[in-house]
Protein backbone atom coordinates (compact mmCIF):
# COMPACT_ATOMS: atom_id res chain seq x y z
CA UNK A 1 0.00 0.00 0.00
CA UNK A 2 1.33 3.38 -0.93
CA UNK A 3 1.06 6.05 1.68
CA UNK A 4 0.06 9.50 0.62
CA UNK A 5 2.40 11.44 2.88
CA UNK A 6 0.72 14.67 1.93
CA UNK A 7 -2.49 14.41 3.90
CA UNK A 8 -5.57 15.40 1.95
CA UNK A 9 -8.10 14.95 4.68
CA UNK A 10 -9.03 17.48 7.26
CA UNK A 11 -11.88 19.34 8.94
CA UNK A 12 -13.12 22.93 8.64
CA UNK A 13 -11.57 25.49 10.98
CA UNK A 14 -8.52 24.93 13.13
CA UNK A 15 -5.19 26.67 13.50
CA UNK A 16 -1.50 26.06 13.01
CA UNK A 17 0.35 26.67 16.26
CA UNK A 18 4.13 26.17 16.03
CA UNK A 19 4.92 22.44 16.22
CA UNK A 20 8.07 22.47 18.38
CA UNK A 21 8.14 18.68 18.21
CA UNK A 22 11.79 18.47 17.14
CA UNK A 23 12.85 18.91 20.79
CA UNK A 24 11.95 15.32 21.56
CA UNK A 25 10.86 13.64 18.33
CA UNK A 26 14.27 12.04 17.80
CA UNK A 27 14.80 10.79 21.35
CA UNK A 28 13.77 7.19 21.77
CA UNK A 29 11.63 6.03 24.69
CA UNK A 30 13.91 5.74 27.73
CA UNK A 31 13.10 4.29 31.13
CA UNK A 32 11.84 7.03 33.43
CA UNK A 33 12.90 7.87 36.96
CA UNK A 34 13.21 5.25 39.67
CA UNK A 35 10.57 6.01 42.25
CA UNK A 36 10.60 5.67 46.01
CA UNK A 37 6.99 6.61 46.38
CA UNK A 38 4.05 6.78 44.00
CA UNK A 39 0.78 8.64 44.36
CA UNK A 40 -2.01 6.73 42.65
CA UNK A 41 -4.98 9.04 42.17
CA UNK A 42 -8.27 7.24 42.62
CA UNK A 43 -9.76 9.37 39.86
CA UNK A 44 -7.72 9.08 36.69
CA UNK A 45 -10.65 8.85 34.32
CA UNK A 46 -14.03 10.20 33.41
CA UNK A 47 -16.65 8.53 35.57
CA UNK A 48 -17.04 7.32 39.13
CA UNK A 49 -14.11 7.80 41.50
CA UNK A 50 -12.64 4.49 42.66
CA UNK A 51 -12.87 3.27 46.24
CA UNK A 52 -9.56 2.10 47.70
CA UNK A 53 -9.32 -1.71 47.87
CA UNK A 54 -6.32 -1.64 50.18
CA UNK A 55 -5.79 -0.25 53.65
CA UNK A 56 -3.04 1.77 55.17
CA UNK A 57 -0.08 -0.47 55.94
CA UNK A 58 -1.01 -3.18 53.42
CA UNK A 59 1.74 -4.74 51.37
CA UNK A 60 1.02 -4.41 47.65
CA UNK A 61 2.67 -6.01 44.64
CA UNK A 62 3.38 -4.39 41.33
CA UNK A 63 0.24 -4.68 39.24
CA UNK A 64 -2.06 -5.21 42.21
CA UNK A 65 -5.35 -3.37 42.14
CA UNK A 66 -5.49 -0.61 44.75
CA UNK A 67 -8.78 1.03 43.82
CA UNK A 68 -11.94 -0.06 42.08
CA UNK A 69 -15.53 0.93 41.54
CA UNK A 70 -18.72 -0.93 40.76
CA UNK A 71 -19.91 1.82 38.45
CA UNK A 72 -20.15 1.00 34.76
CA UNK A 73 -18.23 4.09 33.67
CA UNK A 74 -15.09 3.72 35.74
CA UNK A 75 -11.74 1.98 35.66
CA UNK A 76 -9.70 0.39 38.47
CA UNK A 77 -6.26 1.68 39.37
CA UNK A 78 -3.18 -0.43 40.09
CA UNK A 79 0.12 -0.10 41.86
CA UNK A 80 3.15 0.14 39.59
CA UNK A 81 5.59 -0.97 42.32
CA UNK A 82 6.03 -3.52 45.07
CA UNK A 83 5.64 -1.72 48.34
CA UNK A 84 3.54 -0.73 51.26
CA UNK A 85 0.53 1.57 51.41
CA UNK A 86 1.77 4.62 53.25
CA UNK A 87 -1.48 6.49 53.39
CA UNK A 88 -4.79 7.04 51.68
CA UNK A 89 -5.30 10.76 51.63
CA UNK A 90 -6.17 13.82 49.61
CA UNK A 91 -3.46 14.71 47.13
CA UNK A 92 -3.01 17.38 44.51
CA UNK A 93 -4.90 16.41 41.35
CA UNK A 94 -4.33 18.27 38.12
CA UNK A 95 -8.01 18.87 37.44
CA UNK A 96 -9.93 18.24 40.64
CA UNK A 97 -7.74 20.23 42.98
CA UNK A 98 -7.42 17.83 45.87
CA UNK A 99 -8.65 14.33 45.40
CA UNK A 100 -8.27 11.00 47.22
CA UNK A 101 -5.19 8.98 46.35
CA UNK A 102 -3.33 5.90 47.50
CA UNK A 103 0.26 6.71 48.37
CA UNK A 104 2.54 3.69 48.08
CA UNK A 105 6.07 3.55 49.42
CA UNK A 106 8.27 1.29 47.31
CA UNK A 107 9.93 -1.54 49.19
CA UNK A 108 13.37 -0.82 47.79
CA UNK A 109 15.12 2.47 47.20
CA UNK A 110 15.74 1.74 43.57
CA UNK A 111 12.63 0.99 41.60
CA UNK A 112 13.14 1.49 37.90
CA UNK A 113 10.02 1.37 35.73
CA UNK A 114 9.13 -2.03 34.37
CA UNK A 115 10.47 -3.17 31.04
CA UNK A 116 8.77 -2.02 27.91
CA UNK A 117 7.00 -4.98 26.41
CA UNK A 118 6.97 -4.08 22.74
CA UNK A 119 9.50 -6.82 21.95
CA UNK A 120 7.02 -9.46 23.04
CA UNK A 121 4.76 -8.70 20.12
CA UNK A 122 5.12 -9.60 16.50
CA UNK A 123 2.95 -7.95 13.91
CA UNK A 124 0.84 -11.08 13.90
CA UNK A 125 -1.29 -11.52 16.96
CA UNK A 126 -3.56 -14.52 17.24
CA UNK A 127 -6.76 -12.69 18.06
CA UNK A 128 -8.83 -15.84 17.44
CA UNK A 129 -7.51 -17.11 20.78
CA UNK A 130 -9.43 -14.49 22.69
CA UNK A 131 -13.17 -14.13 22.84
CA UNK A 132 -14.73 -10.67 22.78
CA UNK A 133 -15.81 -11.08 26.40
CA UNK A 134 -12.32 -12.07 27.43
CA UNK A 135 -10.84 -9.02 25.78
CA UNK A 136 -13.45 -6.77 27.31
CA UNK A 137 -12.94 -8.00 30.83
CA UNK A 138 -9.16 -7.91 30.44
CA UNK A 139 -9.41 -4.26 29.35
CA UNK A 140 -11.64 -3.47 32.30
CA UNK A 141 -9.44 -5.33 34.78
CA UNK A 142 -6.33 -3.59 33.48
CA UNK A 143 -7.97 -0.25 34.13
CA UNK A 144 -7.40 1.02 30.62
CA UNK A 145 -8.69 4.50 29.88
CA UNK A 146 -8.25 6.77 26.87
CA UNK A 147 -4.61 7.77 27.00
CA UNK A 148 -4.88 10.69 24.61
CA UNK A 149 -6.02 13.05 27.31
CA UNK A 150 -9.71 12.63 28.07
CA UNK A 151 -9.36 9.40 30.02
CA UNK A 152 -12.67 7.82 29.13
CA UNK A 153 -12.81 4.17 30.29
CA UNK A 154 -11.91 2.14 27.21
CA UNK A 155 -14.02 -0.86 28.04
CA UNK A 156 -17.17 1.24 27.79
CA UNK A 157 -16.08 2.36 24.35
CA UNK A 158 -15.15 -0.98 22.83
CA UNK A 159 -17.78 -3.21 24.39
CA UNK A 160 -20.34 -4.34 21.81
CA UNK A 161 -23.59 -2.50 22.37
CA UNK A 162 -26.63 -3.82 20.49
CA UNK A 163 -28.28 -0.40 20.59
CA UNK A 164 -25.31 1.36 19.02
CA UNK A 165 -23.59 -1.13 16.72
CA UNK A 166 -20.09 -0.08 15.75
CA UNK A 167 -18.72 -0.55 12.31
CA UNK A 168 -15.66 1.68 12.02
CA UNK A 169 -12.66 1.76 14.30
CA UNK A 170 -10.39 4.80 14.04
CA UNK A 171 -7.01 4.73 15.69
CA UNK A 172 -5.90 8.23 16.55
CA UNK A 173 -2.23 8.83 15.91
CA UNK A 174 -2.57 12.51 15.11
CA UNK A 175 -0.96 14.01 18.17
CA UNK A 176 -1.86 17.50 17.04
CA UNK A 177 -0.77 19.23 20.26
CA UNK A 178 2.51 21.12 19.90
CA UNK A 179 5.56 19.68 21.70
CA UNK A 180 4.14 16.24 22.52
CA UNK A 181 5.87 13.30 20.86
CA UNK A 182 4.96 10.31 23.03
CA UNK A 183 2.48 8.88 20.54
CA UNK A 184 4.92 9.44 17.70
CA UNK A 185 7.64 7.50 19.47
CA UNK A 186 5.18 4.74 20.39
CA UNK A 187 4.16 4.43 16.74
CA UNK A 188 7.80 4.17 15.71
CA UNK A 189 8.99 1.83 18.43
CA UNK A 190 5.92 -0.13 19.51
CA UNK A 191 4.46 -0.60 16.04
CA UNK A 192 3.70 -4.30 16.42
CA UNK A 193 2.18 -3.84 19.83
CA UNK A 194 -0.15 -1.17 18.51
CA UNK A 195 -1.25 -3.33 15.60
CA UNK A 196 -1.88 -6.23 17.98
CA UNK A 197 -4.03 -3.92 20.11
CA UNK A 198 -5.88 -2.68 17.04
CA UNK A 199 -6.70 -6.21 15.94
CA UNK A 200 -7.91 -7.17 19.38
CA UNK A 201 -10.07 -4.07 19.59
CA UNK A 202 -11.45 -4.71 16.13
CA UNK A 203 -12.48 -8.16 17.20
CA UNK A 204 -14.16 -7.03 20.44
CA UNK A 205 -16.01 -4.07 19.06
CA UNK A 206 -17.20 -5.88 15.96
CA UNK A 207 -15.96 -3.13 13.68
CA UNK A 208 -15.54 -4.08 10.05
CA UNK A 209 -13.32 -1.20 8.98
CA UNK A 210 -10.19 0.11 10.66
CA UNK A 211 -8.40 3.35 9.87
CA UNK A 212 -5.26 4.67 11.49
CA UNK A 213 -5.22 8.45 11.17
CA UNK A 214 -1.79 10.09 11.41
CA UNK A 215 -0.90 13.71 10.70
CA UNK A 216 1.34 14.18 7.68
CA UNK A 217 4.06 15.79 9.78
CA UNK A 218 4.94 12.31 11.04
CA UNK A 219 6.02 10.52 7.85
CA UNK A 220 8.23 8.19 9.93
CA UNK A 221 5.25 6.88 11.88
CA UNK A 222 3.15 6.53 8.73
CA UNK A 223 5.90 4.51 7.07
CA UNK A 224 6.59 2.33 10.09
CA UNK A 225 2.95 1.36 10.54
CA UNK A 226 2.34 0.87 6.83
CA UNK A 227 5.42 -1.33 6.58
CA UNK A 228 4.41 -3.42 9.56
CA UNK A 229 0.86 -3.84 8.24
CA UNK A 230 2.20 -4.92 4.87
CA UNK A 231 4.54 -7.49 6.40
CA UNK A 232 1.78 -9.05 8.43
CA UNK A 233 -0.73 -8.98 5.59
CA UNK A 234 -3.27 -6.90 7.45
CA UNK A 235 -4.73 -5.28 4.38
CA UNK A 236 -7.99 -4.43 6.07
CA UNK A 237 -6.31 -1.83 8.28
CA UNK A 238 -5.75 1.40 6.36
CA UNK A 239 -3.33 4.15 7.28
CA UNK A 240 -4.70 7.58 6.43
CA UNK A 241 -2.43 10.61 6.33
CA UNK A 242 -4.39 13.61 7.51
CA UNK A 243 -3.46 17.28 7.29
CA UNK A 244 -1.32 18.73 10.02
CA UNK A 245 -3.70 21.08 11.72
CA UNK A 246 -4.73 21.68 15.29
CA UNK A 247 -7.04 20.08 16.65
CA UNK A 248 -6.85 17.26 14.13
CA UNK A 249 -6.55 14.76 17.00
CA UNK A 250 -9.94 15.65 18.45
CA UNK A 251 -12.13 12.63 17.81
CA UNK A 252 -14.92 14.61 16.20
CA UNK A 253 -12.41 16.30 13.92
CA UNK A 254 -10.67 13.04 13.04
CA UNK A 255 -13.98 11.37 12.17
CA UNK A 256 -14.84 14.33 9.95
CA UNK A 257 -11.44 14.14 8.25
CA UNK A 258 -11.41 10.40 7.64
CA UNK A 259 -15.06 9.48 7.13
CA UNK A 260 -16.43 12.92 6.25
CA UNK A 261 -19.17 12.28 8.80
CA UNK A 262 -20.17 14.60 11.59
CA UNK A 263 -20.99 13.36 15.06
CA UNK A 264 -24.25 15.01 16.15
CA UNK A 265 -23.87 17.95 18.52
CA UNK A 266 -23.85 16.67 22.07
CA UNK A 267 -23.58 13.13 20.74
CA UNK A 268 -20.85 10.56 20.89
CA UNK A 269 -19.08 8.72 18.03
CA UNK A 270 -20.93 5.40 18.54
CA UNK A 271 -24.08 7.19 17.40
CA UNK A 272 -22.67 7.06 13.89
CA UNK A 273 -21.06 3.68 14.45
CA UNK A 274 -17.53 4.86 15.13
CA UNK A 275 -15.03 4.13 17.89
CA UNK A 276 -11.93 6.29 18.21
CA UNK A 277 -8.97 5.04 20.20
CA UNK A 278 -5.59 6.59 20.82
CA UNK A 279 -2.52 4.64 19.69
CA UNK A 280 -1.21 4.44 23.25
CA UNK A 281 -4.54 2.98 24.35
CA UNK A 282 -4.31 0.37 21.61
CA UNK A 283 -0.84 -0.56 22.84
CA UNK A 284 -2.13 -0.82 26.40
CA UNK A 285 -4.96 -3.09 25.25
CA UNK A 286 -2.48 -5.48 23.64
CA UNK A 287 -0.43 -5.53 26.82
CA UNK A 288 -3.47 -6.16 28.98
CA UNK A 289 -5.00 -8.89 26.86
CA UNK A 290 -1.94 -10.79 25.72
CA UNK A 291 0.33 -10.33 28.71
CA UNK A 292 -2.34 -9.72 31.33
CA UNK A 293 -0.54 -6.64 32.63
CA UNK A 294 -2.55 -3.73 34.01
CA UNK A 295 -1.99 -0.16 32.95
CA UNK A 296 0.64 1.04 35.43
CA UNK A 297 3.15 2.74 33.18
CA UNK A 298 2.95 5.08 30.24
CA UNK A 299 5.19 7.11 27.97
CA UNK A 300 5.45 10.73 29.03
CA UNK A 301 7.11 13.43 26.96
CA UNK A 302 8.99 15.86 29.17
CA UNK A 303 9.66 18.83 26.99
CA UNK A 304 9.92 22.59 26.60
CA UNK A 305 12.76 25.04 26.17
CA UNK A 306 13.12 25.36 29.93
CA UNK A 307 13.90 21.67 30.55
CA UNK A 308 17.55 20.65 30.55
CA UNK A 309 17.18 17.21 28.92
CA UNK A 310 13.86 16.85 27.17
CA UNK A 311 12.87 13.36 26.14
CA UNK A 312 10.28 10.59 26.09
CA UNK A 313 10.22 8.45 29.21
CA UNK A 314 8.45 5.23 30.11
CA UNK A 315 7.26 6.21 33.53
CA UNK A 316 5.31 4.70 36.38
CA UNK A 317 1.89 6.29 36.76
CA UNK A 318 1.90 8.07 40.10
CA UNK A 319 5.33 9.59 39.63
CA UNK A 320 5.15 13.27 40.48
CA UNK A 321 5.72 16.03 37.99
CA UNK A 322 8.61 17.29 40.11
CA UNK A 323 10.39 13.92 40.07
CA UNK A 324 10.08 13.67 36.30
CA UNK A 325 11.41 17.18 35.82
CA UNK A 326 14.29 16.52 38.23
CA UNK A 327 15.05 13.35 36.29
CA UNK A 328 15.33 15.43 33.13
CA UNK A 329 17.92 17.69 34.66
CA UNK A 330 15.53 20.08 36.33
CA UNK A 331 14.07 23.25 34.95
CA UNK A 332 16.15 26.25 34.06
CA UNK A 333 15.77 29.79 35.32
CA UNK A 334 13.70 30.67 32.28
CA UNK A 335 10.83 28.39 33.31
CA UNK A 336 7.61 30.21 34.01
CA UNK A 337 4.90 27.63 33.64
CA UNK A 338 4.69 23.86 34.06
CA UNK A 339 1.90 22.36 32.02
CA UNK A 340 0.57 18.83 32.31
CA UNK A 341 -0.21 18.11 28.68
CA UNK A 342 0.51 20.30 25.71
CA UNK A 343 0.39 24.09 25.56
CA UNK A 344 -2.99 24.22 23.83
CA UNK A 345 -5.10 22.07 26.14
CA UNK A 346 -2.79 21.17 29.00
CA UNK A 347 -3.36 22.13 32.59
CA UNK A 348 -0.90 24.45 34.31
CA UNK A 349 0.17 23.05 37.66
CA UNK A 350 1.60 25.09 40.51
CA UNK A 351 2.18 22.12 42.80
CA UNK A 352 4.99 19.95 41.45
CA UNK A 353 3.91 17.11 43.73
CA UNK A 354 0.97 16.53 41.40
CA UNK A 355 1.29 12.96 40.12
CA UNK A 356 0.93 12.00 36.49
CA UNK A 357 -2.13 9.96 35.62
CA UNK A 358 -3.05 7.49 32.92
CA UNK A 359 -3.99 10.28 30.56
CA UNK A 360 -1.05 12.65 31.02
CA UNK A 361 1.02 12.36 27.88
CA UNK A 362 3.39 15.22 28.48
CA UNK A 363 4.90 17.71 30.83
CA UNK A 364 5.65 20.93 28.99
CA UNK A 365 7.73 23.57 30.69
CA UNK A 366 7.22 26.92 29.01
CA UNK A 367 9.45 29.94 29.27
CA UNK A 368 8.44 33.46 30.08
CA UNK A 369 8.90 34.52 26.46
CA UNK A 370 6.62 31.77 25.24
CA UNK A 371 3.81 32.48 27.63
CA UNK A 372 4.53 36.18 27.19
CA UNK A 373 2.45 35.70 24.11
CA UNK A 374 -0.31 34.24 26.21
CA UNK A 375 -3.26 36.19 27.36
CA UNK A 376 -2.54 37.38 30.85
CA UNK A 377 0.69 39.11 29.88
CA UNK A 378 -0.93 41.57 27.53
CA UNK A 379 -3.73 43.99 28.05
CA UNK A 380 -7.10 42.54 27.29
CA UNK A 381 -9.06 44.87 25.03
CA UNK A 382 -12.72 44.76 24.23
CA UNK A 383 -13.78 42.25 21.58
CA UNK A 384 -13.22 43.93 18.22
CA UNK A 385 -15.54 41.46 16.53
CA UNK A 386 -12.89 40.42 14.04
CA UNK A 387 -14.45 36.97 13.73
CA UNK A 388 -11.16 35.08 13.93
CA UNK A 389 -12.48 32.81 16.67
CA UNK A 390 -15.45 31.91 14.49
CA UNK A 391 -13.18 31.19 11.56
CA UNK A 392 -10.99 28.77 13.52
CA UNK A 393 -13.66 27.06 15.62
CA UNK A 394 -13.63 23.41 14.53
CA UNK A 395 -17.16 23.00 15.88
CA UNK A 396 -18.48 26.02 13.99
CA UNK A 397 -19.58 27.78 17.15
CA UNK A 398 -19.62 31.49 17.92
CA UNK A 399 -17.00 31.53 20.72
CA UNK A 400 -17.08 35.27 21.33
CA UNK A 401 -20.84 35.29 21.78
CA UNK A 402 -20.69 32.39 24.22
CA UNK A 403 -17.78 33.92 26.16
CA UNK A 404 -19.55 37.25 26.51
CA UNK A 405 -22.78 35.56 27.55
CA UNK A 406 -20.90 33.66 30.27
CA UNK A 407 -19.08 36.82 31.34
CA UNK A 408 -22.41 38.58 31.78
CA UNK A 409 -23.89 35.56 33.52
CA UNK A 410 -26.40 34.86 30.76
CA UNK A 411 -26.09 31.11 30.87
CA UNK A 412 -29.30 30.52 28.96
CA UNK A 413 -27.95 32.57 26.04
CA UNK A 414 -24.65 30.72 26.22
CA UNK A 415 -26.50 27.43 26.18
CA UNK A 416 -28.61 28.44 23.21
CA UNK A 417 -25.33 29.13 21.36
CA UNK A 418 -24.29 25.57 22.18
CA UNK A 419 -21.94 26.19 25.07
CA UNK A 420 -21.77 22.46 25.70
CA UNK A 421 -20.78 21.63 22.13
CA UNK A 422 -17.41 23.29 22.73
CA UNK A 423 -14.53 20.81 22.73
CA UNK A 424 -12.26 23.27 24.58
CA UNK A 425 -9.51 22.99 21.99
CA UNK A 426 -8.38 26.53 22.70
CA UNK A 427 -8.17 27.69 19.07
CA UNK A 428 -10.33 30.74 19.78
CA UNK A 429 -8.18 31.96 22.65
CA UNK A 430 -5.08 31.20 20.62
CA UNK A 431 -6.04 33.50 17.77
CA UNK A 432 -7.90 36.21 19.70
CA UNK A 433 -6.19 39.57 19.07
CA UNK A 434 -8.06 41.15 21.97
CA UNK A 435 -6.47 38.60 24.35
CA UNK A 436 -9.81 37.44 25.67
CA UNK A 437 -9.60 34.08 27.44
CA UNK A 438 -12.51 32.73 25.49
CA UNK A 439 -11.82 29.08 26.32
CA UNK A 440 -11.56 29.98 29.99
CA UNK A 441 -14.95 31.67 29.97
CA UNK A 442 -16.47 28.71 28.16
CA UNK A 443 -15.05 26.24 30.68
CA UNK A 444 -16.35 28.39 33.52
CA UNK A 445 -19.73 28.58 31.82
CA UNK A 446 -19.94 24.82 31.43
CA UNK A 447 -19.31 24.28 35.13
CA UNK A 448 -21.75 27.03 36.10
CA UNK A 449 -24.40 25.56 33.82
CA UNK A 450 -23.90 22.09 35.25
CA UNK A 451 -24.20 23.54 38.76
CA UNK A 452 -27.33 25.38 37.79
CA UNK A 453 -28.78 22.07 36.68
CA UNK A 454 -27.65 20.64 40.02
CA UNK A 455 -25.27 18.15 38.57
CA UNK A 456 -22.34 19.38 40.61
CA UNK A 457 -22.73 20.85 44.08
CA UNK A 458 -21.00 24.21 44.46
Partner 1 sequence: MLKDLRVSCAPHISEPFSTRSVMIDVVIGLVPAMIAAGYYFRIRAAVLIATCVISAVITEWLCNVIRKKPNSLDDFSAVVTGIILALSVPPGLPAWAAVIGSVFAIAVGKMVFGGLGANIFNPAMVGRAFLTASFGMLMTTWTVPATIDKTMPILGTKNDALLNEKLEVVARTQATPLAQSKEAIKNKTGAKRVNNHLPAAVIGEVGGCLGETSAIAILIGGFYLLIRKTINCHIPLAVFLSAYVFSGVTWLINPEAYISPAMHLASGGLLLCAFFIATDPVTAPLTKKGMWIFGIGVGTITMLIRIVGEYPEGVMFSVLLMNAVTPLIDRLCKFAPAGGKPNV
Subset of residues 325 to 344 that bind partner 1, contact rule: CB under 8 A: 331, 335-339, 341, 343-344
**Minimum CB separation from partner 1 for residue 160, in Å?**
24
Judged by CB, which is closer to partner 1: 82, or 435?
435
| 132 sits near partner 1 (criterion: CB under 8 A) | no
**Minimum CB separation from partner 1 for residue 259, in Å?**
13
Among 103, 156, 277, 345, binds partner 1 (CB under 8 A): 345
| 145 sits near partner 1 (criterion: CB under 8 A) | no
Judged by CB, which is closer to partner 1: 109, or 376?
376
Contact 241, 6 (CB under 8 A): yes
CA gap 268, 275 in Å, rounded:
9
Name residues contacting partner 1, limited to 298-317 (CB under 8 A). Answer: none
Among 19, 30, 232, 398, binds partner 1 (CB under 8 A): 398
CA gap 229, 212 in Å, rounded:
11
Bond before 438 cis per omega within 30 degrees = no
* CA distances for 12 relative to 245, 421, 432, angstroms: 10, 16, 18
Q: Which of 175, 228, 219, 223 is nearest to 198 (CA)?
A: 228
Main-chain phi, psi angles of 133, to 5 degrees? -65, -40
Judged by CB, which is closer to partner 1: 68, or 92?
92
Among 49, 268, 348, 410, binds partner 1 (CB under 8 A): 348
CA dihedral defined by 66, 72, 73, 75, rounded to 10 degrees? Answer: 20
Name residues contacting partner 1, limited to 202-261 (CB under 8 A). Answer: 252, 256
Among 395, 403, 445, 449, binds partner 1 (CB under 8 A): 395
| 357 sits near partner 1 (criterion: CB under 8 A) | no
**Minimum CB separation from partner 1 for residue 248, in Å?**
14
Among 50, 77, 240, 349, binds partner 1 (CB under 8 A): 349
Name residues contacting partner 1, limited to 17-56 (CB under 8 A). Answer: 17-18
How many residues in the shown chain lie near partner 1 by CB under 8 A? Answer: 74
| 352 sits near partner 1 (criterion: CB under 8 A) | yes
Among 397, 403, 405, 449, binds partner 1 (CB under 8 A): 397
| 264 sits near partner 1 (criterion: CB under 8 A) | yes
| 168 sits near partner 1 (criterion: CB under 8 A) | no
Amino acid sequence: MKVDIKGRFSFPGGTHPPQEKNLTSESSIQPGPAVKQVTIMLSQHIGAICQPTVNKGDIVKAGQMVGNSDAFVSAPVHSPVNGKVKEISLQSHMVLGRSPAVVIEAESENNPPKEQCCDKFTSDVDEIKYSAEQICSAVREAGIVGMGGAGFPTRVKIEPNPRLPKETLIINGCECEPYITCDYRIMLEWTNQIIAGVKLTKKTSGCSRVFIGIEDNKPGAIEAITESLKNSGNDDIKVIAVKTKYPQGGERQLIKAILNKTVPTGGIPPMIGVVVLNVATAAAIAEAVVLGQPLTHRVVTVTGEAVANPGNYYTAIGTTVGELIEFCGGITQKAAKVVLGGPMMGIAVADLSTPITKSSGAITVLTKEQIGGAKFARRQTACIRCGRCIEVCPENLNPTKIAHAVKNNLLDVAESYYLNACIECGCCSYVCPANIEITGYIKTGKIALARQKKKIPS
